Structure 1
Amino acid sequence: MKILLLEDNKKLNETIKKRLKLKGYTVEAYMDGAEVYEKITDGYSCFILDINVPNIDGIKILKRIREFYETIPVIIISASVELDVIKESYDFGCNDYLKKPFFIDELEIKIEKLCNIQDDYLHFDKDCYFDYKSSTVVIDKQEHRLTKKERLLMNLFLTKKNQVLSYESIENYVWEGSFASLESIRSLIRRLRKVLQRDYIQTVVDTGYIFKVETS
C-alpha cells in the first residue's frame, strides 16, 4: 500500500515514515504542501496531512484530493485544538483527525482501520480469501501466488467489493501513478480472472470493472 505523508516537522516526518515502512507500507514523505499538490493522483491508497505546512496548507490539499477521490482515506494530523479547524477538516472530507502529540501506534491503528487491513486475510467467498502479506489467493485450499500488479488489483477489488471501478482508478492504484494503456489493464484483468477461476470480475462497458460477491 502506497501512502503520502505531509509533515513539515523533519523529525516527526522521518519517525512516521520509518515506522510505516517497518509495517510494510510504501511511504512518500514531503514537507512542503506545494510539492504534494501536484502529486495527488500518483496512485496513493492513503493520505496523512499536517495542516500548517509551507506554501499550500493541508486543508487546501484535502479539498483538492476530494475533487479526484471520494473514498481514499485522509488522516489529518495537527497540533490545532480549535474547533473551527477540526470542523473544517471533517467538512471537507477527512476521515479522521489526530491531535499532536500522538503515539505512532495510534496512527497505525487508524490506517489499518480506514484501509480495511486489520488482518492479513481478505475473504471474498466461502473457502476463498486473499492473503495480502504473502500475495497469495487461496481458492478451495489451492494457493495461487500473485505478481505485484495482480496483488494490488486484488486488494483494490476487495476493498471496493460490489463497487464499479473505472479504468482510471485501476490505473492510478495499480500502476501507482504511472501510465497504463487500456490493453495493459485488460491483460491484467484476464490474468487475474484466470487465477480466480470464477466470474467474480465483471466488465462494466466503457467504464471499468466490478468485483461481484455475495454480501452477508
Structure 2
Amino acid sequence: MEQITTKVLLAEDEPALGMIVSESLDSRGFDVDHFENGKLALEAFEKNDYDILVLDVMMPEMDGFTVAKNVRQLNDEVPIIFLTAKSQTDDVLEGFHVGGNDYLKKPFSMEELIVRIKNLLTRQNIQKTASHYKIGNYDFNFPKQELKIDDEIIKLTHRESHLLYHLVLKMNKVLDRTYILKKLWGDDDFFSGRSMDVFITKLRKKLAKDENIEIVNVRGFGYKLIVGE
C-alpha cells in the first residue's frame, strides 16, 4: 500500500531557519515546500494541495497574517501555525482572528513544532460520526458543515462545525470550557480561550434566526446551548 505523505507549506524568510525546519520535517517523513516570502507562499497554495501551513508572521512581500487571510478565503479547513518573534497579546490574537489554529514563539524546538503539527492534523481528522441534528428550527448537517433554516443554507467553517457539534451533544447542559479547548484547540491557555470566544460569537450570529436558541456563557464553567420550545 502506498504511504500517504503529509504535505507542508513552510513560509519563512530567514534562510538558515527555513533550511533547518525543512530538513527536520523531511527527516520525519513530511513533504515540505519552503518559500522565503509570503507572496510566493500564497501563489504556491493557490496551485497545490497542502495538509498544513507553517507561516512566519514577519516576511517580505506579504506577511503571514495577510497570507492567512487570503488562504481562508479559499479554504476554511487547512490548519495554520504561525511562527512569531512577537509576544504581545494583540499580535497573537490577530493570528487567531485571521484564521490561525496555533502559534509558536521563536526560538522553538523542532520537537515542539512537530508535536503541534501532528496534534492539529489529528484534530482535523476527527471522525464525523453523526449526520443531522435538529436545533430549534435549524437543521444541522455536521458532515457538510451546514445549517439550514427554511430554504436558507448557512455554511459553517471546520472549527465552527466542530464547536457546534459538541454544544449539540451537551444541549441544555454545560459544555466544559477546559474540555472543549483541549479537544479542539489543544490547549486551554488565554489565547485559545479568546479564540474560542470569537467562534462562539460567530455561532450566535448564525443561529440568530430562531429566537428560542441562545448560547450562554456560564462563567467559570463553560458554555450552554439552550433551545427553548
Length-normalised TM-score, structure 1: 0.55
Q: 2: CA distance between counterparts of 1:90 and 1:96?
A: 8
Cα shift at 1:45 = 0.3
1:9 to 1:164, Cα distance in 2 relative to 1, 3 A: same
Among 104, 107, 128, the residue aligned to 2:110: 104
Cα shift at 1:160 = 6.0
Corresponding residue for residue 54 of structure 2: 48
Corresponding residue for residue 70 of structure 1: 76
Opposite residue 17 of structure 1, the aligned amino acid is S
Cα RMSD, aligned residues only: 1.9
* In the alignment, structure 1 residue 22 sits paired with structure 2 residue 27: yes
1:160 to 1:71, Cα distance in 2 relative to 1, 3 A: farther
Cα shift at 1:39 = 1.8
* In the alignment, structure 1 residue 90 sits paired with structure 2 residue 96: yes
Deviates more, 1:103-112 or 1:77-86: 77-86
Opposite residue 111 of structure 1, the aligned amino acid is I
Opposite residue 59 of structure 1, the aligned amino acid is F
Corresponding residue for residue 87 of structure 2: 81
1:25-174 alignment runs, 5 A limit: 25-41=30-46, 42-116=48-122, 161=128, 163-164=143-144
Opposite residue 82 of structure 1, the aligned amino acid is Q
Q: 2: CA distance between counterparts of 1:159 and 1:22?
A: 26
Opposite residue 8 of structure 1, the aligned amino acid is D
Opposite residue 38 of structure 1, the aligned amino acid is E
Cα shift at 1:161 = 4.1
Question: Which structure carries more relative contact order (alpha carbon 8 Å, separation 6+)?
Answer: 1
How many residues are paired up?
Answer: 126
State the SS of the aligned residue for 1:97: strand
The percent identity for this pair of structures is 30
State the SS of the aligned residue for 1:116: helix
Cα shift at 1:71 = 1.6
Q: 2: CA distance between counterparts of 1:77 and 1:86?
A: 10
Cα shift at 1:114 = 0.4
Contact 1:49 1:77 in 2 (8 A): yes
